[in-house]
Amino acid sequence: MEGTRRQSTTNITKPTHKLIDQDETSTVTGPKPSDALPLPLYITNALFFTVFFSVVYFLLTRWREKIRNSTPLHLVTLSDIVAIFAFIASFIYMLGFFGIDFVQSLILRPSPDVWAAEDDGEDEVDLLKEDARIVPCGQALDSTAPPPPQKIAVVPSHHLKPKVVDEIPFPTTLNEEDEEIINSVVAGKTPSYSLESKLDDCKRAAAIRREALQRITSKSLSGLPLEGFDYESILGQCCEMPIGYVQIPVGIAGPLLLDGKEYSVPMATTEGCLVASTNRGCKAIRICGGAASVLLRDAMTRAPVVRFGTAKRAAQLKFYLEDPANFEVVSTVFNKSSRFGRLQSIKCALAGKNLYMRFSCSTGDAMGMNMVSKGVQNVLDFLQNDFPDMDVLGISGNYCSDKKPSAVNWIEGRGKSVVCEAVIKGDVVRNVLKTSVEALVELNMLKNLTGSAMAGALGGFNAQASNIVSAIYIATGQDPAQNVESSHCITMMEPLNGGEDLHVSVTMPSIEVGTVGGGTQLASQSACLNLLGVKGASKETPGANARLLASIVAGSVLAAELSLMSAIASGQLVNSHMKYNRSNKDVSKVAS
């Protein structure tokens, strides 16, 4: 295995060296024989070749004549002298043309030992130089001047390990001790996951893990930045075994005028058109006086599954929980688990002798999955006293329902349920959105309502809610997997004032967002939350920041729905996507 790796990487590394050498000879060495005349190379060559062979023929002929005539060789005529000079000149040229590189290679070729030594140093310096031309964008995160390239590893020759071609896109210094740890990870003696706890330095752990991974897989991670990220901030919270981070551009849409306030909405996306489209919708809404939102419900859910010996016994627990007196007791137990978690309801469903209990609770500014799970665990422990025959099969029985399309979320809601509306004047529909009220109303009915019904949609009665939900979720550190139910949305477009104006609304029952916990505390995500004025826990009213964020999500979806539906109604969708999704770059070249 090791041997195979060494073989393959050696094969990869050598051509790189050759390339660099060729580059260097062409740029660093002095004048070449072909520079003798200010003529194109092929003419210079032809000239010297002709001269050389002509004078050789002439001199040989002269030599033969002198021998025949018994003339002493040292008696030369002017033409002989000219011929001798021409011979020497052309000989030197041809020696340079064919022989100098060969002679140089004989004189300058390093011994095998020298190569081995240089492999450690120069090779890496060269690679670093190469990498300097393609510095990953992430480096730009750090506004300070980049440190001078450092030697990556000082490795004794017996520790030499294969390197992939364009590794080391980061200036992190790996010392001899690091090299030993890398070797140990590569050999499987040190588990990669244990690096953080062993080294007590998250950045170093990530750098070592990354280097080990490159060697194990013989795959380069060049392009995946390591620098410019606080690895301590994700430890035990956001991501295990990090080796870098993926960059996603953040665009800004807005201002979104919502409930009398303006918001610049950060959207992390790689889909062209999305931000521009949302921006156009924001403009239409703003000109018309803004959008208004109402939070209908605020409750995160968790539904454990428990099993009894009989369906009758399972039903007894259902009736027990539905008794208001018992609910009081149970909610007291639940609420002890957190300052912010407050039990609101328990909805039960039976499947034979199995019982699913959907606990709903408010969770302050946290999205609340952990909070509700803790509360549910307390309740299960408590219920075990009165229902000792209750067999807890799982703290989550999918009746919650987290990160899966489900009717229960669509009907009952999960997280924040928000409705957001706006009235768009007829002239704004015509001038900004380039369509008509009538066309929008008709398209909405046939696409978002009838079309989705025909498709058997579950909560998908909209044009592109998930585009906006995902982009804002990624920018603000939400759990992007919750895009599934958070994107449930019904978009309504109805004529107003006898068809002159448009009433547009989005109703979203399951927006699952938080402004504390999870990815919200990371630097970039936190900056985006700060931009919206919803960073962290609300000091005045716990939960207010998360609720406002949910409203902003709904408002942004409203704007994007307006714009996309207008583009489709006016037949502009394909044109605008060609403009924003496909620049005039040759995509295949960009990809390669």
Q: Does residue 479 have an active-site annotation? A: yes
Please say which residue, 426 or 542, places its beta carbon nearer to ligand ADP.
Answer: 542
Is 509 among the residues that bind ligand ADP (CB under 6 A)? no
d(CA 516, CA 368): 9
Shortest Å, Cβ 344 to ligand ADP: 15
Shortest Å, Cβ 416 to ligand ADP: 13
* Coil/strand/helix, residue 394: strand
Segment near ligand ADP (CB under 6 A), from 160-168, 240-248, 267-275, 359-367?
Answer: 359-367
Is 371 among the residues that bind ligand ADP (CB under 6 A)? yes
d(CA 267, CA 472): 5
Q: How many residues bind ligand ADP (CB under 6 A)?
A: 19
Q: Among 138, 514, 519, 555, which residue sits at the site for ligand ADP (rule: CB under 6 A)?
A: 514
Residue 415 and residue 297 in contact, taking contact as beta carbons nearer than 8 Å: no
**Virtual CA dihedral for 378, 379, 380, 381, nearest 10 degrees?**
50
Shortest Å, Cβ 340 to ligand ADP: 4
Instruction: Supply the DSSP string of 38-49, one letter for each residue.
Output: SS-HHHHHHHHH
Is 517 among the residues that bind ligand ADP (CB under 6 A)? yes
Number of H helices, E strands in the chain: 23, 11
State which of positions 537-566 bind ligand ADP (CB under 6 A). 537-538, 542
Q: How far is CA 61 from CA 47, 84, 365, 576, in A?
A: 21, 13, 103, 81
Q: How far is CA 21 from CA 109, 128, 232, 436, in A?
A: 12, 15, 41, 66
Please say which residue, 153 or 369, places its beta carbon nearer to ligand ADP.
Answer: 369
Is 136 among the residues that bind ligand ADP (CB under 6 A)? no
- DSSP designation for 404: S
Segment near ligand ADP (CB under 6 A), from 64-72, 284-292, 502-510, 514-522?
Answer: 514-522
Shortest Å, Cβ 546 to ligand ADP: 7
Omega of the bond prior to 510 within 30 degrees of 0, cis?
no
Is 485 among the residues that bind ligand ADP (CB under 6 A)? no
Q: Which residue has the tokens 């037949």?
A: 571
Please say which residue, 74 or 539, places its beta carbon nearer to ligand ADP.
Answer: 539
Is 460 among the residues that bind ligand ADP (CB under 6 A)? no
Listed residue (496, 509, 507, 508) closest to 440, CA to CA: 496
Helix (H) or strand (E) holding 362: strand 354-362
Segment near ligand ADP (CB under 6 A), from 218-226, 245-253, 367-375, 464-472?
Answer: 367-375
Please say which residue, 244 or 477, places its beta carbon nearer to ligand ADP.
Answer: 477
Please say which residue, 531 or 546, places its beta carbon nearer to ligand ADP.
Answer: 546
Is 369 among the residues that bind ligand ADP (CB under 6 A)? yes
Segment near ligand ADP (CB under 6 A), from 122-130, 157-165, 207-215, 511-519?
Answer: 511-519
Q: Does residue 163 have an active-site annotation? A: no
Q: Does residue 403 have an active-site annotation? A: yes
Could you give the residue ranges of the DSSP H alpha helices within 302-455? Answer: 311-322, 324-335, 369-386, 407-412, 426-431, 437-443, 452-454
Listed residue (546, 552, 473, 548) closest to 506, CA to CA: 552
Is 340 among the residues that bind ligand ADP (CB under 6 A)? yes
Spacing of C-alpha 266 from chain mean position = 16
Is 364 among the residues that bind ligand ADP (CB under 6 A)? yes
Q: Does residue 17 have an active-site annotation? A: no
Q: Among 365, 412, 512, 561, which residue sits at the site for ligand ADP (rule: CB under 6 A)?
A: 365
Listed residue (206, 20, 232) closest to 128, CA to CA: 20
Please say which residue, 56 or 537, places its beta carbon nearer to ligand ADP.
Answer: 537
Is 375 among the residues that bind ligand ADP (CB under 6 A)? no
Which residue in the list 203, 347, 353, 403 is annotated as catalytic? 403
Q: What residues line the site for ligand ADP (CB under 6 A)?
A: 338-340, 363-371, 514, 516-518, 537-538, 542
Would you name the residues annotated as active-site residues? 271, 403, 479, 577
